[in-house]
Structure 1
């Protein structure tokens, strides 16, 4: 049995963090899996997932960089790690240095977005060219962009995120008040100002009742609250900070809104589709792979809050359309992004 290592910065809320825990869980039924964590932050959702797979060995890489690298190198040798997967930039760097000159360990880097800051890009390009077997992207747009900028084409692979598909159920009724939700870190890349402006425009277009739940945490929280106050939307927008019961908000949502200026493959959109929600989202990253325009949701240009409001209004005014699109979104997710496909693609890579 092969021994597989996965390096991740932490297991706090976040797309890469969730996908690393998911990868550990699906591979642990076939291989011995070692999950190396730089910082001991663990959110409830990831904790619950890993509890279902006690065979996964969690190893904390504590201390400064030199100590982390030394501990990882020793662990690679001690546990005979044959394949090492890294997710975020610091994980890529630590994994690549630690496995250097260990001939029996193959390192795969990871890129989780279609755009990253220049200093991170330069580090990852260097690692892709000289230190790693290959880089795994979770989105085609990012892969193509990075190849154009110097990543080795023959060392770039795309494996979309996986998701545990929920059980299907019939949506017989949608309540009179519609819940629009958006979940993500409060950072510039998510462009929540456009979301807020879209809700302001939506308020002008319909008198039907709705509430927008803006859920997350991050450095722009104060700015977001200021924008909401400035647009006089406190009665329409509820800001929820880093809740422990995130699944509850997905379950209560009827429509999902995403106004990101760039993405990889969005975990939050996938979760929304898994809860039978139609999606209104910017056409960035691989959103077009998730959303079939005018069938499972609607795609808009970045910053186009008026078009977002137009599509939200269309859904609010036609509950049958909301229901139908939500069902089709779920079926599209189930057919194209199941956890079995996710697992099989990684196993194929490991066994090749």
Structure 2
């Protein structure tokens, strides 16, 4: 959606958004931004006939580029695009698990049919090339980007009051869905180590998911329940970010970690695991610290180092904001995608008009 909106605003390409789902405000947002769309209302893998309206649209409008996202859409986008003879097929991959035979087979199909494959980090790109054995020239890294505006953020004092957090508490936050690969256990174990120093800390866990109940139980078992807050799902995390002093991520694997960009947008220093594409965002000792996945003691040590040094927090937060502006804004992302579109059309011998 963000890419479609960016393309529409730049005026260089006219996007048409296609989705297999509906609802959730999708249509309203597309219409508000003047973006044409097609909803296939596909429910099952076997609903192949639902793609006929898309094939008809591709042929009638003489669509020149299909840009799809993630495994299922990449597969069907490349197949449908080939049937409709769309000249440029671009697949976009985001932090996928390559451990299954199914993903290997489907990715090989996508790689063979696509002209270009976009990855959100160099780490993801290299892993794909090694696993699939595809031409490296076909694989391109374009980093995710976010808006650097902070509209609608409530005052920090109000948000602290809403969660019952005292002014003198240092707030350590993690924003991530509750899933095994996000490894909230490491965050809670680090919290226990930090709290053993008897400092004034609150640990804020923002998000929802299947491992949340077990993590709530772990918090109680560790005896840190009075210093941990599970917010549940937050529709707009930017409403909570102002009260976080230190942003954390404990993933075992990560394509890039877009939440890191959100921390940086709010000038927050980061303590994160050194996994996947994360070190392409968090520069050790510059805008944050990196620790090995699962190393909760090192994570606790880095949290304490930042908690005890306000000047260090401020300096790293500002460095993060500067890095964000230089590499990770939504404008930069859309510009890089448009350049790839231009190059791909030229390589296919097709004009933009």
Where on the TM-score scale, by shorter chain, does this alignment land: which range? 0.7 to 0.9
Deviation at 1:51, TM superposition (A): 6.5
Q: 2:306 corresponds to which residue?
A: 315
**Separation of aligned partners in 1, 2:31 and 2:167:** 36
In structure 2, relative to structure 1, the CA distance for the partners of 1:226 and 1:47 (3 Å cut) is farther
Deviation at 1:314, TM superposition (A): 0.8
C-alpha RMSD of matched pairs (Å): 2.3
Deviation at 1:154, TM superposition (A): 2.2
Task: Name the SS for the 1:235 alignment partner.
Answer: helix
1:169-192 CA-to-partner distances (Å, cap 9, x unmatched) read xxxx99521211111111111011
**Separation of aligned partners in 2, 1:162 and 1:49:** 19
Out of 76, 81, 84, the residue aligned to residue 94 of structure 1 is: 76
Out of 77, 80, 94, the residue aligned to residue 62 of structure 2 is: 80
In structure 2, relative to structure 1, the CA distance for the partners of 1:82 and 1:136 (3 Å cut) is same
Task: Name the SS for the 2:219 alignment partner.
Answer: helix
Give yes or no for contact 2:71–2:107 (8 Å, CA) kept in 1.
Answer: no
**Separation of aligned partners in 1, 2:83 and 2:31:** 34
**Separation of aligned partners in 2, 1:334 and 1:59:** 34
Out of 274, 288, 297, the residue aligned to residue 297 of structure 1 is: 288
1:18-39 CA-to-partner distances (Å, cap 9, x unmatched) read xxx1111111132211111222
Q: 2:162 corresponds to which residue?
A: none
In structure 2, relative to structure 1, the CA distance for the partners of 1:67 and 1:235 (3 Å cut) is farther
In structure 2, relative to structure 1, the CA distance for the partners of 1:120 and 1:142 (3 Å cut) is farther
Q: 2:235 corresponds to which residue?
A: 244
Give yes or no for contact 1:198–1:308 (8 Å, CA) kept in 2.
Answer: yes
Give yes or no for contact 2:38–2:54 (8 Å, CA) kept in 1.
Answer: no
1:114-147 CA-to-partner distances (Å, cap 9, x unmatched) read 6434245314432243211121111101111111
Q: 2:122 corresponds to which residue?
A: 140
Q: 2:323 corresponds to which residue?
A: 332
Whether 1:24 aligns to 2:4 is yes
State the structure with more CA Rg: 2
**Separation of aligned partners in 1, 2:255 and 2:28:** 25
In structure 2, relative to structure 1, the CA distance for the partners of 1:90 and 1:112 (3 Å cut) is same
**Separation of aligned partners in 2, 1:336 and 1:237:** 33
Give yes or no for contact 1:125–1:151 (8 Å, CA) kept in 2.
Answer: no
Give yes or no for contact 2:78–2:110 (8 Å, CA) kept in 1.
Answer: no
Give yes or no for contact 1:195–1:259 (8 Å, CA) kept in 2.
Answer: yes
* 1:116-155 aligned within 5 A: 116-149=98-131, 150-155=133-138
The count of aligned residue pairs is: 324
Give yes or no for contact 1:129–1:151 (8 Å, CA) kept in 2.
Answer: yes
Deviation at 1:78, TM superposition (A): 3.0
**Separation of aligned partners in 1, 2:312 and 2:167:** 14
**Separation of aligned partners in 2, 1:39 and 1:105:** 26
1:6-59 CA-to-partner distances (Å, cap 9, x unmatched) read xxxxxxxxxxxxxxx11111111322111112222537xx88975662x21232
Segment drifting more, 325-334 vs 74-83: 74-83
**Separation of aligned partners in 2, 1:47 and 1:202:** 46
**Separation of aligned partners in 2, 1:277 and 1:48:** 33
Stretches of structure 2 lacking an aligned partner (at least 5 in a row): 151-156, 158-165, 344-353
Out of 179, 183, 187, the residue aligned to residue 191 of structure 1 is: 183
Stretches of structure 1 lacking an aligned partner (at least 5 in a row): 1-20, 168-172
Out of 143, 149, 153, the residue aligned to residue 160 of structure 1 is: 143
In structure 2, relative to structure 1, the CA distance for the partners of 1:153 and 1:320 (3 Å cut) is same
Give yes or no for contact 1:89–1:120 (8 Å, CA) kept in 2.
Answer: no
**Separation of aligned partners in 1, 2:80 and 2:207:** 34
Q: 1:62 corresponds to which residue?
A: 41
1:185-219 CA-to-partner distances (Å, cap 9, x unmatched) read 11111011111101011111x32212111111211
* 1:221-236 aligned within 5 A: 221-236=212-227
1:304-345 CA-to-partner distances (Å, cap 9, x unmatched) read 000000010111111221112111111111112122321211
Whether 1:182 aligns to 2:174 is yes
Q: 1:113 corresponds to which residue?
A: 95
Task: Name the SS for the 1:27 alignment partner.
Answer: helix
**Separation of aligned partners in 2, 1:245 and 1:341:** 23
